[in-house]
Amino acid sequence: MRRLAIPTIAALLLTLAPQPANAGGHDDARRLREAVTVNGVLEHLRALQKIADRNDGTRASGTPGFTASAGYVKDKLRRAGYQVTEQVFTFPFYKELAPAVLERVSPAGPAYETVTFDFSGTGDVTGQVVPALNNVLPPTEAPSSTAGCAAADFAPASAAAPQVALVQRGGCDFVVKAKNAKAAGYDAVIIFNEGQEGRQVLFQGTLGEPFDLPVVGLSFADGSALATAAAAGTVSVHVKTSTFIDPTAKTSNIVADARGGDPNRVLVVGAHLDSVIDGPGINDNGSGSATILEIAEQIAKLKLSTKQKLRFTFWGAEELGLLGSEHYVAQLTDAQRATIFANLNFDMVGSPNYVRFVYDGDGSDTGTAGPAGSGELESVFTSYFASKGLASSPTEFNGRSDYGPFIAVGIPAGGLFSGAEGVKTAEEAAVYGGTAGEPYDSCYHEACDDITNLSKPALSELGDAAAHGVLTVARSKAVFTPAAATAPAAAPAEHAGSHAVR
């Protein structure tokens, strides 16, 4: 259960104190918060909803809805006086055309609850189930299974009839397991959850790149039962997937630089602009995009100067694995990367059943710290909330949003999050209100994530905190120690965006 973080006012910005570029620094923060209104954010969100309505209900990268969303953002930023660049890149567009089918045909049995892994190929296979040679049943304490991570983990498939590999999660990326199964001659792949606490239910995974065999998932209970049955005798299943992949689709990032500020100390303020293919994405992540767009407009309107160069970024293709932010970071030269002072990330700030989550930069609550300086960024937000008598709670850097590529190269990161498909605890409901036992956002990645799927109090409270944080960090004189000198290399992330990669 997460511990609530309510720092004392005395802890406010001890190591990342705001250093105003003019004598009215504290007044400027108040003026900016007052200028960044819920109505202003909602104006942008209504525009994004209209764009989705005109484009088959989606704003996903690779669709006209995203192109129109990017055009809207570019126009607003240029009118506000920013130097705007559209960074076009190629990415693999993926869409599931029909739900996956996984059913036992011999001995006859019911259909399983399953999912298609992102970037799975299309296929219709009926064949014998062959478990990987080193599935661990029952699982031991984590880490447990490395099944499928080596080519030798799969017995060679029969050439006489189709066969389906059954492999346990754990130890390496799913795409490694799938490629090893394919190399051994299998016609389809089933990946089931590992089995320890927190790794038992059916989950959505991604291969991260186009693949040409059907790959589907199972819960630990179903997968382990199927493995046990297959070890005791011949078991056959029917696996069917239907997907579309365009490996050369194009999308873009929108990058907007404010005039002024030190070009050798750049603060990148980011939010992903794309939705999932199934909906308009108004909370995920229209809310983050609209909030930082409103902050950018009001900073320009108020003519607020900053010590750091302010760069507002709107990422494409986040929903397929942080592809836009990964592209942005990957194309930076060493010299360009060295100029980036910090990254602030805002991914979902209007969830209906919200919590005021702050990324746990120092790892004190979740055990996963960001690069040096991330703890100071965390303190900017927790101290702000405390100064307003508002609780906040830590959330882990787990690779699920666009801070990931920045952290991977040692750039400190921070930001806010109001909750996604996770379930609100009774403790959280007692502090924040809302409904315990229900998701923070019950329309997460669904068609109902529309303009009605928002909390105005969340937009207000997290919007004010975001405005405060952006201006505070942009005016700071702090100098962060390079992460490479202070921390070991981070463990491989288990997520790239919303879906697990390993």
Q: Which residues are catalytic?
A: 318
Distances (CA, A) of 299 to 22, 24, 71, 305, 471: 14, 14, 21, 8, 9
Pairing relationship of beta strands 163-168 and 188-192 according to DSSP bridges:
parallel
CA distance 151 to 372: 38
CA distance 60 to 57: 9
- Angle in degrees, CA 401, 340, 296, rounded to 5: 70
Distances (CA, A) of 419 to 395, 424, 428, 442: 9, 9, 12, 10
Alpha-helix runs per DSSP H in 184-331: 220-232, 288-302, 323-330
Question: Hey, what are 144's tokens?
Answer: 């447990």
User: DSSP for 256-289?
Assistant: EEPSSSEEEEEEEEEEE-PPPTTS--IIIIIIHH
Question: Hey, what are 54's tokens?
Answer: 């005109």
Residues 235, 165 contacting (CB under 8 angstroms): no
Closest by CA position to 66, among listed 276, 271, 306, 301: 276
CA distance 471 to 475: 6
- Give me the residue label for tokens 């997520």: 495
CA distance 166 to 418: 37
